[in-house]
Structure formats: C-alpha cells, structure tokens
Amino acid sequence: MSSHRFHLEFMPPQKSTPFGSRTDVNQLDFPVLSEMSLSLLRLEVRGMREPHWHPNASELNYCVEGRGLITIFGPGSSHNTFLIEPGTLSFIPMGSLHYIENVGNTQLKMLLCFDNDNPEDLDLSSSLGAMPEGNLAETFKVDKAFFPGLHADINPIFITEKSHMSQQLNSWKTNSFKMDLGSIQAQVQTRGGTVKMSNNSLFPALNGLALYSLTLEKNGAREPHWHPNAHELNFLVSGTAKITLLSPGGNVESFDMKAGDISFLPKGYIHTIENTGNDAAQFAIFFNHAAPSDIGISGCLGAYPNEVLASIFKVPTAYFDKLPKFQSDLFVVSGGG
C-alpha cells in the first residue's frame, strides 16, 4: 500500500438510496490530501441529486459515463442549464445552488472534485425544514399551512427519483459553465499518448480547479515532471498504470494503479506515470489551480550546460554530448512500462 494511493471505486458509498449513491474521499479517509477532495457520484435512470450547494468549495465535475442535466442557480438570479455526456467538464462556483439529473437510459457516473479537503453540503430540502414556517409563508405570501404540508425536516433527501425526465435536451447543449473536453483536439499528441487540457484560458469559468484528460498508449509514459503551482489528484478511468513519486527527504514511492484508483501527488513533488498494460490507460487528472504549470525533466536537462551536469553526476563533460538538448518539455513519451 502507498500513502498516496486510494481505492476509490471499491469503497462503499457513504450516502446511498435506491436512486443513486455518492462515495466521498476527503482528508479523513485519505490523510495525504491537501486542499482537494474527490467524490464518485452514481445516479440511476431518472435519479436526481437534489438542489444543493457547497459553502466552502467550488466543484469541477467530469462525466465518465451516461447522460445528465445540470441546472445552476447563482448570484443575480442567474440560471444555467446544460447537458453533460462522457468527456464533459462542468464547473460549479462556491455557494451556487445546483442539481444533477440522469436523463439517459443508463447509469450516470461522474467525478466531483472540490478545492477543499473537507467540503460541506447544504441541501434545499433540509433548508426548508430548518427555517421558520411563518417566515417562509410570509416570504412567498401563502397560507401558513403550505409549508407544514411539505413534511420537510432537517434530514436532506439527497438523491431521489424525478417523476418525469426533463425534455428539450437539445436546447441545452452549450453553456459557459461546461466544456466538452472529449471533443477537442489534444494539445499534446505523441507516440506515447495524448493530453487534452482544460484551464481558465480555454474554459474561462474555471476558478481554482482544472483538469487534464491523459491517455497513455501501450508503453507510453508521462515524463518525470512536477507542478510548481498545483497539487494533482488523479483518477484512473481505465487500464493499469504505475506511478513513481519522490518526496522531500529522499522518500521514493512506486505503486501500481488499476481502474477506479486515485492518487494524490503534492505540489512540487517530481513524479512519473507509466502505462503497465496492453491497452491504453486513461486518467482524469484534477489540479487545484485554474492554470496548472509543468516542469519536465527533458527540458530541465536541456536548460543547463554539460559542465554543470557533469559536476553533479561525477562524469566527464563529454558524457553528456550524446544527450539531446530539448529546449521544451516532451510531456508524453513512449518506451515506458
């Protein structure tokens, strides 16, 4: 076992109803987490995560399977309703009310990443149960008997079944709070694999979070690198992989990952990811920065003269004459595994 890996998909959900479930991994379950957490949401057909908000966290969602509908109600009485499908990102600002509905014919499966290691929930159903009924009646100008008739209490509904599936879905395909990451051209394409990136220049709604979709082909590898401004929290969607991580103090961890696993790689720690299987390995990689930065080992060695490198590694200067001097990072390479 590694302190930086966690078996998310095989953990029993903390919240479950006949219409869906949510499995949460926060700092209590995965102590190495810092400033980030991840949840796995599953909604059955017509299942609905009730309207809710997070007082202390923004949320970046990645649709893994199925088809869903999200509505966000935010400051200024703003409404945003949009369709999500596999590969879609959706961003929910901190404190904005939102709900998620399964509008497909199969289970909806989503990853929910938060920029807090212990995010909080408040739900619409329990909010009504907690507020004075007379106050609510006066607000809506209805009879005082109206709100007691809802049988609301302070225990949230959380996930329930929607009586009728939403219609006119084609009219809700575009929105400023979603990005169809699956359909864009990969910014990095090599023999070793591809990377599709979201950041706040491509997805302006992002604030404090971003995601890369990384696909490593057989024997492909993410070159050794680190992120100066962001922690990395990744989920292995499919395939198998191996991660090697160096922490300050000389501690080296090397661990295998299978589909459904997550790993947390702290800001500034050098690490590499290798595909260890015969099929492609696909990762959803979250960062707690809207514009995560990278430094790769290929560009590093190209940035310094051979005399400097020879002094460090105690070899003749000519030893490094055969090493290519890359002036920028390669990012994804082949030959790993």
* Beta-bridge partners for 81: 71
How many angstroms separate the CA atoms of 204 and 174, rounded?
A: 14
Number of helices followed by number of strands (H, E) in the chain: 4, 26
The Cα 35–Cα 18 span in angstroms is 32
List, in sequence order, the alpha helices (H) in the chain: 124-130, 133-140, 297-302, 306-313
Domains of the chain and any CATH numbers: 5-121+156-178 (2.60.120.10), 184-334 (2.60.120.10)
Q: Note the pLDDT of residue 93.
A: 98
Neighbours of 238 (CB within 10 A): 15
Pairing state between β 188-190 and 97-102: unpaired
CA angle 32, 33, 34 (to 5 degrees): 115
Q: How far apart, in Å, are the Cα atoms of 110 and each of 38, 52, 286, 297? A: 10, 16, 13, 33
Which has the closest alpha carbon to 172: 42, 72, 62? 72
CA distances from 184 to 197, 198, 218, 311 (A): 9, 10, 22, 44
What was the pLDDT predicted at 1?
A: 59
pTM of the entire structure? 0.95
CA angle 175, 181, 184 (to 5 degrees): 105
Max distance between CA atoms of the chain, in angstroms, equals 89
Q: Are 70 and 100 a contacting pair, CB within 8 Å?
A: yes
Residue type, 3: S
Structure confidence at residue 164 (pLDDT):
81
At 132, list the tokens: 């004075």
Instruction: Give CA–CA dist 31/332, Å, rounded.
Output: 30
Mention every residue, 6+ apart, whose C-beta is less than 8 A from residue 159: 15, 16, 17, 19, 20, 21, 22, 43, 47, 48, 49, 50
Report residue 72: phi and psi, to 5°. Answer: -110, 130
Q: Which parts of 134-290 are beta strand (E)?
A: 159-161, 178-180, 188-190, 193-197, 210-216, 220-226, 232-238, 240-247, 251-258, 262-265, 270-275, 281-287
pLDDT at 169: 76
For 106-117, what is each residue's pLDDT tens digit? 999 999 999 999
Return the HEC string of 59-77. Answer: EEEEEEECCEEEEEEEHHH
Positions of the chain with pLDDT lower than 70, given as ranges: 1, 336-337
Residue found under tokens 């509505």: 71
